Amino acid sequence: MTSPSSSTGTAHGVAVSFQEMHRWYGPVHALDGLSIDIAPGEMIALLGPSGCGKTTALRALGGLDEVDAGRILVDGRDMTHVPANKRNMGIVFQAYSLFPNMTARDNVAYGLRLRGIGSAARRKTADEMLDLVGLGQQASRYPHQMSGGQQQRVALARALAIQPSVLLLDEPLSALDAKVRRQLREEIRRLQIMVGITTLFVTHDQEEALAMGDRVGVMSAGRLEQIAAPAELYDRPRTRFVAEFVGLTNRIDGTADGGVVRILGTVVPLLEGSAQSGQVKALVRPENVRLARAQDDGTARVAAVSFLGSLCRAQVTLPDDTLVVAQMSAAEASDLAPGTTVTVGVVPAPVFAVAD
Amino acid sequence: MTAPQGTSLGAAAPGGGALLSQPRPRGRGRRRRPGQLVARAIVLVVVLGYLVLPLFAMVEFSTRGDYGTRSLGSYEAILSYPNLIDGIVTSLEIAVLTVLGMLILLVPTMVWTVVRVPRMRRVVEFLCLLPLAIPAIVIVVGIGPIYQWMGQHLGAVGASPLTLALIDIILVLPYAYRAIDASLRSIDTATLADAARSLGAGWPRTILQVIVPNIRGGILSASVLAIALVLGEYTISSLLAFNTLQVVIYLLGKRDPFVSVAVSFAALVFAFVLLFVISRFAPGAVHRGQQTIEEPAA
């Protein structure tokens, strides 16, 4: 097997920098001072709800949308006002974007044709790229003869064939069913690491973002709330939005004082940015909630148990009618059933708390 | 280069083709009751009669010979009328200019509107449909002074009947807009344009190499409609005193009605042949991005 980097020529990615970018659509401030530094070869996943500005940021980097203020640097070069067709960036779109009048091979070769590459070399490179995404046998098929997953693979091959400086993925998996999506995201990540290309990946799917990104940036209302490695983002959210948006959280009453909060009888350290005193709602992950089967003196009652394969989630009603979700292994949940009386505690892992 | 070890993507290749050949399930709706069939047959006969009877009458009239015989003399006489040949050539030239002008004006405008300023789509649509609401006489009265000026100041070019293409481009806009708009709506124009630009194509290449091939059906339909309209246009040509095919046919009808009807019939046959050729050889709506196969097993 030939190394993909020898074909794509992008063994070393380039640095990308968003500097104080602003974009208005009428009264809507789609990008509100967005600044991100992406290291060479790094994959950044931008995560956020619809309308948070993540796709606007990606399109601005690709040259498909203008920015009203701020700068975009790629490998130290100011690309802010360079037209899309001069940026040399590969983009895979959310919608199927293969040219319907061209075969898979012609689609992949189109960017090379625009660069004046001879037909034999074009064909060779296109076939190599199709092999890379596992579709070497589909080269003569038209888009309407391929499944959605295959079309997105061809789109990925087409984006990589031009040896782009940066790869932009605009929710490329969202139109696919769950099984294909999971498979393809692993393939994309594998190829990205193999090629070593700097990549910006936009998604509203938390699982996708946490699974694929070297770092994950969470956006809200045009601003970057936090950017960090997936584990840090999950375990140490810095803002209320991140704490509530990423992963499941329980909102449990507590009393904060001096950098700690007392919840369900346990004293737990508070994360930076939390409310520091008074009555608070502590945002506790389900896996940090502990249940113990009790006899008659239990303080809570199991409302429902959901089986998730190797894991189980139990919904528990506290005496004050607060609903708490606890996550545990299937073995631990074996003696839990709706109506079971339990005591509820939390692991003393740092939590984020918001004023009640 | 081959697929990396361990990938399961290669296994996805076979299978899709088999699904393509599966017959479509036929539902109950395919069965027709006898009453429906009779009603359809009656409608078909009435419509065909409405369309065919005039043609039959034209053939019958234009092939009348002396003493109740049949003759193709009227058709043979077409070539002996120089004005008629000139009118045919002029109308064909106007048709070509109109098609070219309409496409050059409309296709980039519509693509640009869809991709860059979608909020202007309604405005463009309104402007393109406007000629439907303006009577020909109003257009002539309004545009007459401009033609007068062109005739006086632009010499032979300004006085040429080919300048009628300028008006005909406006007249065909409503029909051409509808045909091209339907094609543009059948593809994801904005995403295709974005994809082409990200791969390095400028706007001209994006339109010519990516968008136009995928709206070819709409462009051909618009062109056929434009040709049909130009070949049938009489009012404006007559009022502006240009000798196009329809004007010459009208004048000829006063002198030799048999040849006049023969020319009209020949023009209709020409239009039918043109439509047939285009519908036969134009690409159908087969590559329209719809997903036709299921995801293969992983």
pLDDT at B9 over 80: no
* Chain B residues lying within 8 Å of A93, measured CB to CB: 191, 194-195
Q: What is the pLDDT of residue B238?
A: 87
B7 to chain A: which residues are within 8 Å by CB? Answer: 134, 187
When pLDDT is averaged across residues A114-140 and rounded to a whole number, the result is 93
Distance CA A19, CA A180 (A): 36
pLDDT score recorded for residue A218: 96
The predicted pLDDT at position A248 comes to 87
B38 alpha carbon, distance to own chain's centre = 34
Return d(Cα A246, Cα A253) in angstroms, integer.
20
Strands (E), B9-80: none
- Whether the Cβ atoms of residue B47 and residue B226 lie closer than 8 Å to each other: no
What integer pLDDT is reported at residue A12 of this predicted model? 66
Q: Does any CB of chain A come closer than 8 Å to the CB of residue B15? A: no
The answer to whether A78 touches A86, Cβ cutoff 8 Å, is: no
Helices (H), A257-310: none
Three-class secondary structure of residue A276 per DSSP: coil
Look up the pTM and report it: 0.78
In angstroms, rounded to a whole number, what is the distance separating the alpha carbons of residues B236 and B233? 7
Q: Does the CB of B186 have a partner CB in chain A at under 8 Å?
A: no
- Confidence tier at B240 by pLDDT (50, 70, 90): confident
How high is the pLDDT of residue A82?
A: 95
CB of A266 closer than 8 Å to CB of A288: no
Strand locations in chain A (E): 16-25, 28-38, 43-47, 69-74, 77-78, 89-92, 166-170, 198-203, 215-220, 223-228, 250-257, 260-263, 266-269, 278-284, 289-293, 300-307, 311-317, 323-329, 341-346, 352-355
Q: Tell me what pLDDT residue B281 has.
A: 67
Q: What is the pLDDT of residue B3?
A: 36
Cα separation, A204 vs A209, in Å, equals 8
CB contact A193 to B (< 8 Å): no
Query: What are the backbone dihedrals phi and psi of residue A183, each rounded to the nearest 5 degrees, phi first?
Result: -65, -45
CB B226 within 8 A of CB A134: no
Q: Which residues contact B280 (CB under 8 A, 6 or more apart)?
A: none
Predicted confidence (pLDDT) per residue in B209-223, tens digit? 999 999 998 998 899
B210 lies within 8 A of chain A by CB: yes
Residues of B in contact with A172 (CB under 8 A): none
Reference A289, options A346, A330, A251; nearest CA is A346
- Neighboring chain A residues of B21 at a CB cutoff of 8 Å: none
Spatial separation of the C-alpha atoms in residues B134 and B139, rounded to whole Å? 7
- pLDDT tens digits, B34-72: 788 899 999 999 999 998 899 999 999 999 888 888 888
Between CA B75 and CA B61 the distance in angstroms is 12
Q: What are phi and psi of B264, to 5 degrees?
A: -60, -45
Residue contact B9–A177, C-beta within 8 A: no
In chain A, the domains with their CATH numbers are 4-88+163-235 (3.40.50.300), 248-355 (2.40.50.100)
- Tens of pLDDT, residues A185-241: 998 999 899 889 999 999 999 999 999 999 999 999 999 999 999 999 998 899 989
Find residue A304's DSSP bridge partners. Answer: A315
Beta bridge partner(s), residue A268 = A261
> Given a cut of 80, is residue B6 above it in pLDDT?
no
Give me the pLDDT at residue B20, please: 35
**Nearest-by-Cβ selection for A89 from B2, B198, B210:** B198
Q: Measured at the alpha carbon of residue A293, what is the angle toward residues A288 and A299, in degrees to the nearest 5?
A: 80
| A261: β partners | A256, A268
Question: Do the chains contact at B198 and A91, CB–CB below 8 Å?
Answer: yes
d(CA B145, CA A242): 69
Render pLDDT for B280-289 as a digit per residue (tens, 0 to 9). Answer: 766 554 444 4
Residues 49-88 of A with CB under 8 A from B: 62-64, 83-88
Distance between CA atoms of B86 and A294, rounded to whole angstroms?
A: 104
Interface contact B188-A176, CB threshold 8 A: no
Instruction: Provide ipTM, 2 decimals.
Output: 0.85
pLDDT at A152 over 80: yes
Average pLDDT, chain A: 90
Determine the residue among A64, A85, A152, A188 to mutate to test chain B binding: the one whose Cβ has the most chain B Cβ atoms within 10 Å: A85
Q: CA-CA distance, B142 to B242, in Å (whole number)?
A: 17
